[in-house]
Chains A and B, each alone.
Chain A
Amino acid sequence: MSSTADLDLVVNGERVTAPARPGDTLLDVLRGPLGLTGAKAGCREGECGACTVLLDGLAVNACLTLAWTCAGREVVTVEGLSRDGVLSPVQRAFVDAWAVQCGFCTPGMVLQATALLARNPDPTPEEARRGIEGNLCRCTGYGRIVEAIRAAAAAGRANP
């Protein structure tokens, strides 16, 4: 209802411009004008992690991040992880470990795991669990997800 202005961002490596209102969250802009619906709105109040994206390489809740604070910054969504139909190592590991059931938490989990492995390439199971603490999953009990993170870490060590 309030007026929009053009917001410039770098999303998945591409410069994009999207109309955004002052109060819009990054999640609103991604899912709305940019049509990047991989980030999910599980709660819109910072409690579930389904909206996790990478902002300048750090995992953030897109539902709590005001879009205008992201002007000119780099955003990576789940759509930006696979290239030419090839899944990222974390995505691959999630598939292979059956870390996905309904999949609603999955994009956020995958990005959280990607950020975790970027700062800690060889997490212990405990560290992997703590890394995804802010991401809720109702389906898996997290066991397969932790397994996937460890497998992706191992794959990363094998092919650095």
Chain B
Amino acid sequence: MSESTRPRGAVGAPIPKLDAPERVTGRIRYIHEIGLPRMLHGAVLRAEVPHARIVRVDTSRALSLPGVRAVLTGADVPLVPFGHGRDNTALKADFVRCIRDEVAAVAADTEEIAREACRRIRVEYEPLPAIFDPEEAARPGALRVWPEREDNLAFNYHYDHGDVAAGEAESDAVVEGTYRLHYVTHACLGTSGIVAAFDSDGRLTLHSVTQVPFLYRRDMSRIVGVPPEHIRVIQAAIGGGFGSKLDIYPYEPIAIFLARATGRPVRILFDRGEEFRDSPTRQPAIVHLRSGARRDGTLTFRTARLLLDNGAHTSWGATTPFVMMQTFSSLYRVPHAAFDAEVVYTHNPYAGSFRGYGNLQATFPIEVQLDELAESLGIDPLELRLRNAQVPGEVTGQGLVFQSCGLAECLRTAAAASGWEEKRRAYAQAGEGPLRRGIGMASMVHTGGGAKIYHSDGCGTVLTVDDFGSVTLVTGATEIGQGSETVLAQIAAEELGIPVDRFTVVNSDTQVKPWDVGVHASRTTFIAGNAARMAANKARRKLLDAAAEQLGVPAGDLEIRDGDVVRASDGKVLTDVGRVVRKLHFATRYDVVTTTAYYEPPSAMQDPGFKGNVSPTYSFATHVVEVEVDVETGVIRPLRVTAVHDAGRVINPLGALGQVEGGVAMGLGYAMTEDLVIREGRVLNGSFRDYKLFTAPEMPEVDVRWVETADPDGPFGAKGIGEAPAICIAPAVVNAVYQATGRRFRSLPLRPERVALELARGEGEE
């Protein structure tokens, strides 16, 4: 496959997103537009108290409402435990343990009736004491969320390399601090939903927004008792994913139970309030971090102790330490490192996976603390980072292999493009008046080609070149708006020599597409891209062999360019691929040009000590942020973001640019405006009015640059870009605010009222 990493045309071209015309015309169908004949509408009733015994559920007033077709409670459905901790069920029969808990569900002729029926269900609760503070929940003797367990500890993780005590002994400076990361939510513009339909044989079709269709099918099978081979998952267009659709959530099996109970298709759609209150969040974290360095800035050790609030049930949030520890062990060269994380149950809502998968929470403390170290050593933050940046070929203490690594180049490019030195110097003089400026930086490392957490992290592809020279690429990969269909077509087009505009990409039906792990861990470009390239390579060879036979010339003398078969030596067009395929059908071989490929990345599952090269490659980035802080009002205005990324060779510069700009907006939201306020287990701000995303006028100028390392195993040298852009904005903002105000914030978000208050309290540290 490495015969050529030199782009011929499709790779590196700013080709518009293939499905964009369907989207700009409003024709594409999201889950909200999937309707089936005789379809009913479902709604879910959730707990009103965060912890209670369910004494009685009276559904009579719901059942008597005209148009209601079924009402289900925990007594009516199988309660198969699911989720990473096997501690969630579709409906709850005896106890509710968080506000999100599903108590009953209705199927009715309209959504309005279904919701009205839910309101008519009377649930008698015996309220029980609840625990919301993870630090309290972690203490011995604390009230237990699950009384059958010994304590609230749901999971713990330990990782180390080297000898931390030795590292500490070598240190000239040691800093430590506690950092608190808050709740935020995906706030996808398209709300969640599902359509479940059984056919007459009991086979189940799910129109779903899942990001992991094959794992979803497998896991759903167990929950609802339908054999996996009888479940077909058809993915509707997904109105934003960002990790939110990586797990099964109770409303999904509930829709299936309602469909089974009524014998009719059932659709459940979230409204915006449900999307805020009842969707997974980003994992909140309390991080105690300690790190040291020698006088010359060489890092000596890093230790981290983390406490994560698991909420009452377990989704993927509980597994984010797996990704966090990669950053603690391997962001910059750290000879000695130790990491301990405890995940404790509380009666709060639970966290899922969210773009970056714990890495924002890990990068924040590290990068804020690096600036503290720099200050205590009297070294420029850029200098400190450069001194510790890894180089290509390096193997980290955790065993991550950085076969391509542009970290130092990202740092240098970001510094040059942002005017780091001059601005750093200029802003060091505290200004007069209330407006102060500062500039800050942060970097990140993230998997750039998946994470081998299952025995395979692979993806399948089926590629057909048809009798008119068009290509159908059936990929296991999932499109959530990131542009995978375009990037995969570009990779296959490059390999095949057939232009992208002759491609159709099929990617949304488990009955049709081959297996794939799902869209997460920034794996699609790398893994599905390699699979597409392999299948294209096979098709190209088959076409050339057939053409050679048909034309009576050696295959080695031929090439495919622009859909034509040409003589390699002078580019003379001899025939075209459609013709070659037609002859293959009718005359020569009675055959088709359909190839398959399954790509398995050269990554490894980690050992029980979490060591091993979990991803075939890693992406790097440096973000520099310039801010203006009004020290009286606390308003922080980001003036300019310089985002430099090593995502290997860039397959589509426009698509990649969109990923970075979008990630920057999300990261700025995390840093400054987004705050899902949860008090006593309740989400208090479940609307766009009260949960603030960045709007267009609030966005700063974003200067995006690429450090195009060519990854030896990436398709044409590419690595993943999906998650990276959201990861290191927040610490860069905090570092910039420190320069502007002399105040080092150790928790987020930097909302004006808080910033003003803390600045009024005087200079120093939080």
Residues facing A in B639-658 (CB within 8 A) are: 652, 654-655, 657-658
Q: Which residues of A contact B271 (CB under 8 A)?
A: 44
Q: Which residues of A contact B113 (CB under 8 A)?
A: 1
Q: With the chains together, A44 CA to B187 CA distance in Å?
A: 14
- A136 interface hit (Cβ, 8 Å): yes
Bin chain A's interface residue count.
Answer: 35 or more
The count of A-to-B residue pairs whose CB atoms sit within 8 angstroms is: 182
Q: Which residues of B contact A96 (CB under 8 A)?
A: 16
Q: Which of the listed residues A50, A79, A98, A137 has the most CB atoms from chain B within 10 Å of its own CB?
A: A98
Q: Which residues of A contact B21 (CB under 8 A)?
A: 87, 91, 95
Q: Do A100 and B23 touch (CB < 8 A)?
A: yes
Residues facing B in A15-45 (CB within 8 A) are: 36-45
Q: Do B481 and A102 touch (CB < 8 A)?
A: yes
Q: Which residues of B contact A75 (CB under 8 A)?
A: none
Partner of A139, one of B33, B658, B696: B658
Partner of B32, one of A37, A97, A107, A139: A37
Q: Do B189 and A48 touch (CB < 8 A)?
A: yes
Q: Do B657 and A50 touch (CB < 8 A)?
A: no
Q: Which residues of B contact A82 (CB under 8 A)?
A: 25
Contact with B along A1-15 (1 / 0, CB 8 A): 100000000000000
Partner of B112, one of A1, A87, A98, A144: A1
Contact with A along B698-734 (1 / 0, CB 8 A): 0100100000000000000000000000000000000
Smallest CB gap from B21: residue in A = A95
Q: Do A138 and B188 touch (CB < 8 A)?
A: yes
Q: Which residues of B contact A42 (CB under 8 A)?
A: 189-191, 272, 688
The secondary-structure label for the interface of chain B is loop
Smallest CB gap from B480: residue in A = A102
- B30 interface hit (Cβ, 8 Å): yes
Q: Which residues of A contact B33 (CB under 8 A)?
A: 37
- B374 interface hit (Cβ, 8 Å): no
**Chain B nearest Cβ from A104, distance in angstroms:** 4
- B556 interface hit (Cβ, 8 Å): no
Q: Do A45 and B687 touch (CB < 8 A)?
A: yes
Contact with A along B653-665 (1 / 0, CB 8 A): 0110110111111
- B26 interface hit (Cβ, 8 Å): yes
With A102-B190, A133-B696 in contact, do A141 and B661 touch (Cβ < 8 Å)? yes
Q: Which residues of A contact B695 (CB under 8 A)?
A: 133-134, 136, 142
Q: Do A140 and B24 touch (CB < 8 A)?
A: no
Partner of A39, one of B23, B26, B688: B26
Q: Which residues of A contact B238 (CB under 8 A)?
A: 102
- Count of chain B residues with Cβ under 8 Å from any Cβ of A? 59
Q: Do B190 and A141 touch (CB < 8 A)?
A: no
**Chain B nearest Cβ from A84, distance in angstroms:** 12
- B482 interface hit (Cβ, 8 Å): yes
Q: Which residues of B contact A91 (CB under 8 A)?
A: 21, 24-25
Smallest CB gap from A36: residue in B = B26
With A37-B33, A98-B17, A102-B238 in contact, do A142 and B661 touch (Cβ < 8 Å)? yes
**Chain A nearest Cβ from B221, distance in angstroms:** 28
With A129-B697, A138-B189 in contact, do A98 and B24 touch (Cβ < 8 Å)? no
Q: Do A43 and B483 touch (CB < 8 A)?
A: no
- B666 interface hit (Cβ, 8 Å): yes
Q: Do A139 and B662 touch (CB < 8 A)?
A: yes
Q: Do B25 and A44 touch (CB < 8 A)?
A: no
Q: Which residues of B contact A39 (CB under 8 A)?
A: 26
**Chain B nearest Cβ from A158, distance in angstroms:** 19
- A145 interface hit (Cβ, 8 Å): yes
Residues facing A in B141-164 (CB within 8 A) are: none
Q: With the chains together, A96 CA to B15 CA distance in Å?
A: 8
Counting from the closest, the 3 A-B pairs by CB-CB distance are: A38-B26, A102-B481, A103-B23
Give 12 A-B contacts (CB < 8 Å), ordered by A residue: A40-B239, A78-B24, A102-B239, A103-B22, A103-B28, A139-B481, A141-B658, A141-B661, A141-B663, A141-B702, A142-B695, A142-B699
For the complex with contacts A95-B17, A104-B189, A140-B662, 16 further pairs of A-B residues with Cβ separation under 8 Å are A44-B272, A45-B272, A45-B688, A91-B25, A98-B17, A99-B658, A100-B24, A101-B662, A104-B190, A106-B26, A136-B688, A141-B662, A141-B664, A142-B699, A144-B654, A144-B657
